[in-house]
């Protein structure tokens, strides 16, 4: 396996490669990541309806596995690009631009799958689980959503970091599996996952009725997506900064 110091050094170069992708390619890769996370969210919804919360948590890591192995750009994992910025391999403008492009691409991909699955009747008898999930997420207070977002992206970025330690596909999936399952089981908040769950709940309410009180597009963006995104940023950037300081202090580089 790669050591933590090797992973840190590798992320300096990886962040540069991500930041310098052509914007069109970056956006399409981000759409793919939104699609992968959303498809895992759809499967997790059915799993939760059939087998309970633990079943849903055990299914959802498929999303990050697809992101890592199939190759795509995920906003939450890309918070680790802070290592490249701290090392001055990329500028703050490059970092923020990459985050913005990927965020919008993730949103487009996730909402697309939300529409396709609900309109295609994927959930059927399970639509109440979808409505319940979306309603619970938009009912969170700003502070609860933010703090759950912080905890979530510590785990997600730890999962991405651990996957980078493995040198084979199977090892990468095994490494990322438990941290992702843990955040789902604990009810932490992931902005890209919520780009699927809440729009899917809104589409389900349009198709089946029975929308929970307060489930609106405004609540999606302002009461959930805003605080969760801020929390994800704090958790991911904070973890990245600590990992960089611990494993790759200023002037200390290792060869790959």
For CA atoms 159, 174, 145, 203, the dihedral sign is positive
Superfamily of domain 4-247: Glycerol uptake facilitator protein. (1.20.1080.10)
> What is the tens place of the pLDDT at every residue in 176-207?
999 999 999 999 999 999 999 999 999 999 99
Among candidates 13, 2, 15, 1, which has minimal Cα distance to 253? Answer: 13
Query: What pLDDT does residue 251 have?
Result: 60
And the tokens for 245? 């300081």
Angle at which helices 191-208 and 127-138 cross, to 10°: 120
Q: Is the pLDDT of residue 65 over 70?
A: yes
> What is the tens place of the pLDDT at every residue in 153-179?
999 999 999 999 999 999 999 999 999
Mean local confidence (pLDDT), 4-27 = 96
End-to-end Cα separation, the chain, in angstroms: 12
Enumerate the domain spans of the chain. Answer: 4-247
- pLDDT confidence of 214, banded at 50, 70, 90? very high
Query: What pLDDT does residue 249 have?
Result: 85
User: Which percentage of the chain shows pLDDT scores above 70?
Assistant: 98
Angle at which helices 92-119 and 23-51 cross, to 10°: 50
- pLDDT confidence of 46, banded at 50, 70, 90? very high
> What is the tens place of the pLDDT at every residue in 69-114?
999 999 999 999 999 999 999 999 999 999 999 999 999 999 999 9
Query: What pLDDT does residue 252 have?
Result: 67
Mean local confidence (pLDDT), 27-40 = 98
CA 100 vs. chain centroid, Å, equals: 14
Give the Cα separation of 182 and 212 in Å (integer).
27
Q: Is the pLDDT of residue 254 over 50?
A: no
């Amino acid at each position: 396996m790669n050591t933590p110091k090797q992973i840190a050094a590798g992320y300096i170069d990886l962040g540069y490669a991500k930041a310098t992708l052509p914007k069109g390619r970056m956006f399409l890769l981000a759409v793919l990541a939104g699609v992968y996370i959303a498809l895992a969210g759809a499967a997790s919804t059915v799993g939760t309806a059939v087998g309970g919360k633990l079943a849903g948590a055990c299914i959802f890591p498929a999303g990050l596995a697809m992101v890592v192995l199939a190759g795509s750009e995920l906003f939450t994992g890309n918070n680790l690009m802070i290592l490249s910025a701290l090392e001055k391999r990329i500028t703050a403008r490059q970092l923020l631009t990459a985050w913005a492009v990927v965020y919008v691409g993730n949103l487009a991909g996730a909402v697309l799958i939300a529409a396709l699955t609900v309109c295609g009747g994927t959930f059927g008898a399970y639509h109440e689980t979808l409505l319940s999930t979306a309603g619970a997420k938009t009912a969170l207070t700003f502070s609860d959503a933010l703090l759950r977002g912080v905890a979530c992206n510590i785990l997600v970025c730890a999962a991405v970091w651990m996957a980078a330690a493995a040198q084979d596909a199977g090892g990468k999936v095994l490494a990322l599996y438990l941290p992702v399952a843990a955040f789902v089981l604990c009810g932490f908040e992931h902005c890209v996952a919520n780009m699927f769950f809440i729009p899917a709940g809104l589409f389900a309410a349009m198709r089946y009725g029975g929308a929970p009180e307060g489930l609106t597009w405004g609540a999606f963006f302002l009461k959930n997506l805003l605080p969760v995104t801020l929390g994800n940023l704090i958790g991911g950037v904070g973890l990245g900064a600590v990992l960089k300081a611990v494993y790759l202090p200023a002037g200390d580089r290792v060869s790959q």
